[in-house]
């Protein structure tokens, strides 16, 4: 297998995807629906953060969720059980979501009735960073047990995100995680990123996340 052949294929896929992602963004701008792409490693807390967000936005913003899962529906079931419109995309072995899959998701939702749609991407710090989903905002979670060296190893993901939420800060007491070193590494890659610290388990820091979300949606809708 030649590297060059594979790279050509990737470029063709990328250019088709970039066009479609721009269409998704424009379509949702018209309905004033902000699309947010949530990414992380497996088990960092994407679903837990979405469940906290459902709770935190209750009565203020109308939320929908698109769940990507390779083979199961466990996450969509948890969200739907809270009365939130949830679409499950089975990626069938794909390691990321692209704009085609997201289009299928929003086609299946009444997006004009929603203020915010959160996409839970496949748990993976590599491939999702390469594929524009059409989201207006990219958010990633890094959990404390993963370690403070991850920006050195997965730099693209940290570079393309608007916000990094450092989750599982309740594990800090058992860990040698160096928050100052992490911040320095992340900001070296992406000086404009917002960094928040939280624990989806205890609820610490979740208010800051909800405030950020409300501010971003308001700005997106042009209300402020």
- In angstroms, give the least distance from the CB of 205 to its own copies: 17
Residue (33 or 124) nearer to its own copies, CB: 124
Supply the minimum distance, in Å, between the C-beta of residue 131 and its own copies. 10
Write down the least CB distance from residue 79 to its own copies, Å.
15
- What is the contact mask toward its own copies in residues 193 to 222, using x (rule: CB under 8 A)? ------------------------------
The structure tokens listed for 83 are 């009365």
Strand partners, 67: 88, 120
Q: How many CA atoms lie within 13 A of 97 on its CB side?
A: 30
Q: Are 36 and 136 in contact (CB under 8 A)?
A: yes
Phi and psi at 2, nearest 5°, equal -90, 140
Q: Retrieve residue 24's tokens.
A: 């998704």
CA distances from 169 to 8, 46, 102 (A): 42, 15, 31
Cα–Cα distance, 209 to 124 (Å, whole number): 22
Which among 54, 29, 57, 212 is positioned nearest to 67, based on CA atoms? 54
Pick out residues in 135-194 that bind its own copies (CB under 8 A). Answer: 143-147, 149-150, 152-156, 168, 170-171, 174
Range 13-72, binding its own copies (CB under 8 A): 13, 16-17, 20, 41-44, 69-72
* CB closer to its own copies, 22 vs 110: 22
Sketch the per residue contact string, 113 through 142, with its own copies: x for CB under 8 A, - otherwise.
Answer: ---------xxxxxx--x------------
The stretch near its own copies (CB under 8 A) out of 22-30, 55-63, 88-96, 208-216 is 88-96
- Whether the CB-CB separation of 201 and 49 falls below 8 Å is answered with no
Q: Residue 87: count other Cβ atoms within 10 Å of its Cβ.
A: 21
Binding site for its own copies (CB under 8 A): 1, 3, 6, 9, 13, 16-17, 20, 41-44, 69-72, 74, 93-95, 98, 100, 122-127, 130, 143-147, 149-150, 152-156, 168, 170-171, 174
């Amino acid at each position: 297998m030649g590297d060059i052949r594979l790279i050509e294929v990737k470029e063709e896929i990328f250019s088709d995807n970039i066009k479609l992602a721009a269409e998704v963004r424009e379509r949702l701008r018209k309905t004033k629906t902000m699309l947010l792409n949530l990414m992380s490693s497996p088990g960092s807390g994407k679903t837990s953060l979405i469940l906290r967000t459902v709770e935190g936005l209750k009565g203020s913003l109308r939320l929908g969720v698109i769940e990507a899962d390779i083979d199961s529906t466990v996450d969509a079931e948890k969200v739907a059980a809270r009365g939130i419109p949830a679409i499950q995309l089975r990626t069938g072995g794909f390691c990321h979501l692209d704009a085609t899959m997201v289009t299928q998701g929003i086609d299946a939702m009444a997006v004009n009735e929603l203020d915010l749609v959160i996409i839970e991407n496949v748990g993976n710090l590599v491939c999702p960073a390469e594929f524009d989903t059409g989201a207006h905002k990219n958010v990633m979670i890094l959990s404390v047990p993963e370690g403070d060296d991850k920006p050195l190893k997965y730099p693209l993901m940290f570079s393309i995100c608007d916000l990094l939420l450092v989750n599982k800060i309740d594990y800090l007491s058992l860990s040698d995680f160096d928050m100052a070193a992490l911040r320095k590494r992340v900001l070296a890659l992406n000086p404009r990123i917002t960094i928040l610290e939280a624990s989806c388990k205890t609820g610490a820091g979740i208010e800051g996340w909800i405030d950020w979300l409300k501010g971003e949606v308001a700005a997106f809708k042009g209300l402020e």
